[in-house]
Amino acid sequence: MPNILIRNVPPEVHARLTAAAKDSGQSLQQYILGLISTPSKRMSHAETIAWLRGRVDRMARDGTDSTNSMSGAESVRQARIDHAREVYQAMGVDWDPEEEFR
């Protein structure tokens, strides 16, 4: 497997990551691999846009009423909020990104 080396990590970042890894019962390597693997499990921007563009067709085909549904922009915003919340929670930071993305 390939390796990644990160140089010049500030001591406070290292300490916070180490503590978060310990709290989750993982090694620092396992913990950081989990953090950096998360984006690869999500759709890329291009995939998200294609999915949103196909949404109208899917809704018409399924007979779904789009008037009560979230807009594409709202869906993307909510996904960003959810992702930021997961990342900060995993790092042990008490911060709610809701206001930042509104």
pLDDT of 27-79, one tens digit each? 999 999 988 887 767 777 788 778 777 777 777 777 766 555 667 777 787 88
pLDDT at 66: 56
Six-digit token string for 42: 């999500």
Residue 95 has pLDDT above 90, yes or no: no
Residue 12 has pLDDT above 80, yes or no: yes
pTM: predicted TM-score of the whole model, two decimal places: 0.44
Cα–Cα nearest to 14, from 1, 26, 37, 32 = 32
pLDDT at 21: 95
pLDDT at 36: 84
Place of tokens 């846009």: 49
